[in-house]
């Protein structure tokens, strides 16, 4: 699909692979290829769940800082929106998405992981938002998604200090969902989402939209969104199959319709 990012599909699981040695630094080209891969995974009906994986030792060690050294304020004003929206394309994939993290997930790498629904982390990984040490702040969702995930106080700790944390602390504060040996990370991520490949695709899509949409709205708006999405699922064949199977005391066979 791209020089550094590709989408591979096997048994209903789409793997978005980053491969820009040695540390999968997220330069502008990688960001745009990531956007393309995310859109492809979202649009392909054969993809029922997604794994985001960094090839090699590291998930992604952050942005390519060499692109920042000569950038003016005026130039970054024009570029910042595209940077954020590339990661947002991953967050908006309307399917279950898990990050498979080995090595470093720092800066933009951590922000990419935050754009996923879950994070499977190697037991020797390091995560963090070290941008403050460069005199800047996270610019691809880190200040927003991290605070929503682990709470504002813990997010301020990581962002204000720029410190790296190990997998044990990441698990304790909710930044990691599972911690396993590095050589088990990808397979564990695949198994986490495999269950969704035969699930009710439209209901899963609605559930993700309701949760994520509700987090950016007040309670009343979130409840209204939930009601709208709930009612819409009564037009799906999977709803008919699911309710009928329950009454008939058998396992449902969802088709995604």
Active centre residues (catalytic): 111, 131
Contact 203, 236 (CB under 8 A): yes
Residues 183-220 as b or e (16 or more Cβ within 10 Å = b): ebbbebbbebbbebbebbbbbbbbbbbbeeebeeeeee
HEC secondary structure over 57-89: CCCECCECHHHCCCCCHHHHHHHHHHHHHHHHH
Contact status, residue 40 vs residue 17, Cβ threshold 8 Å: no
Cα–Cα distance list, 234 to 75, 224, 231, 239, 245 (Å): 48, 16, 6, 6, 15
Residue position matching structure tokens 């990581």: 158
Query: CB-based contacts of 10: which residues, under 8 Å, 6+ apart?
Result: none
**Chain centroid to CA 149: how far?**
12
Where do runs of H (alpha helix) occur along the chain? 28-43, 73-91, 108-114, 142-150, 152-161, 167-173, 185-194, 201-215, 219-232, 237-247
């Amino acid at each position: 699909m791209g020089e550094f990012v590709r989408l591979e599909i096997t048994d209903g699981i789409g793997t978005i692979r980053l491969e820009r040695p040695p540390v999968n630094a997220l330069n502008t080209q990688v960001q745009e290829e990531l956007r393309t891969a995310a859109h492809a995974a979202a649009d392909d009906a054969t993809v029922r769940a997604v794994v985001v994986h960094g090839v090699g030792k590291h998930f992604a060690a952050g942005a390519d800082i060499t692109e920042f050294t000569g950038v003016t304020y005026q130039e970054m004003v024009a570029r910042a929106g595209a940077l954020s929206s590339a990661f947002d394309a991953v967050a908006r994939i309307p399917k279950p998405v898990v990050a498979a993290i080995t090595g470093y997930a720092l800066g933009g790498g951590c922000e990419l992981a935050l754009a996923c629904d879950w994070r499977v982390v190697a037991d020797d990984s390091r995560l963090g938002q070290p941008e403050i040490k460069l005199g800047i702040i996270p610019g691809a969702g880190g200040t927003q998604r991290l605070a929503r995930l682990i709470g504002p106080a813990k997010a301020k700790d990581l962002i204000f200090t720029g410190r790296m944390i190990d997998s044990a602390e990441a698990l304790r504060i909710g930044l990691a969902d599972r911690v396993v040996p590095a050589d088990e990370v990808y397979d564990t991520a695949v198994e986490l989402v495999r269950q969704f490949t035969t699930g009710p695709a439209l209901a899963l899509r609605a559930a993700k939209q309701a949760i994520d949409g509700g987090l950016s709205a007040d309670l009343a708006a979130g409840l209204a969104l939930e009601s709208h999405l709930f009612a819409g699922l009564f037009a799906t064949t999977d709803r008919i199959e699911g309710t009928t199977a329950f009454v008939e005391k058998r396992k449902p066979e969802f088709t995604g319709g």
